[in-house]
């Protein structure tokens, strides 16, 4: 009921309802209460008619949910209504590299020079950096590594080397967009 009434209407409705429950309501106040309820029911009916019209147009023009809502909105609604579990957002691990048997996490900080120099030199020279990547089976982390290298060096990784990592250019571009955000 509260969603169908303005704040002042709802406050007056509550007052009148309280008077009615304590049997202290006058005939004029009872009429006012009926008017408020009738007004709320009309709004509810109008909203239902509007929703029916929208549903009809969606069916008529074959509009899909992804044309109306972003994937985030669809996911949030699905979580809200229990269609998918309300899980925390997926944690994205930073690129992981190895050099001379030593592991490195490429977080927001710059890589230590001992791996940065040979990695960047190989990348700028157009060579494969497969030997530097510690998580070859994780395509998303490989794509993030390549995207980050491309951003920091200004060079583009060769398509043949992307195939070697089982990563597509689209994955690298998507990872680059996430980096920019």
pLDDT digits (tens, 9 = 90+) for 20-62: 999 999 999 999 999 999 999 999 999 999 999 999 998 898 8
Each residue's pLDDT tens digit, 107-137: 767 788 888 899 999 899 999 899 898 888 8
Query: Does residue 73 surpass a pLDDT of 80?
Result: yes
Query: Is the pTM value of this prediction over 0.85?
Result: no
pLDDT value at residue 39 = 92
> b/e string for 27-53 if b means 16 or more Cβ within 10 A?
eeeeebbeebbeebeeeeeeeeeeeee
Each residue's pLDDT tens digit, 81-98: 878 776 655 566 778 888
Question: At 64, is the pLDDT very low, low, confident or very high (cuts 50, 70, 90)?
Answer: confident
Token pair of 28 as six digits: 């004029």
pLDDT value at residue 136 = 81
Q: Quick count: other Cβ atoms within 10 Å of Cβ 94?
A: 15
State the DSSP code for 88: P
Domain-wise residue ranges, the chain: 2-80, 96-180
């Amino acid at each position: 009921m509260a969603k169908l009434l303005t704040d002042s209407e709802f406050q007056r409705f509550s007052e009148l309802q309280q008077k009615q429950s304590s049997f202290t309501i006058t005939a004029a106040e009872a009429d006012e209460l009926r008017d408020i309820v009738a007004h709320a029911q009309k709004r509810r009916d109008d909203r239902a008619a509007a929703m029916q019209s929208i549903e009809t147009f969606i069916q008529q023009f074959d509009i899909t949910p992804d044309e109306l809502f972003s994937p985030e909105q669809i996911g949030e609604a699905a979580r809200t209504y229990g269609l998918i579990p309300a899980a925390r957002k997926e944690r994205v691990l930073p690129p992981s590299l190895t050099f001379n048997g030593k592991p490195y996490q490429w977080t927001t900080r710059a890589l230590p020079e001992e791996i940065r120099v040979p990695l960047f030199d190989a990348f700028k020279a157009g060579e494969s950096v497969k030997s530097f990547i510690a998580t070859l089976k994780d395509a998303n982390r490989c794509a993030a590594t390549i995207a980050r290298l491309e951003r920091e060096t200004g060079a583009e990784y060769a398509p043949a080397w992307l195939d070697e990592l089982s990563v597509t250019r689209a994955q690298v571009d998507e990872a680059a967009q996430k980096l920019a955000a």
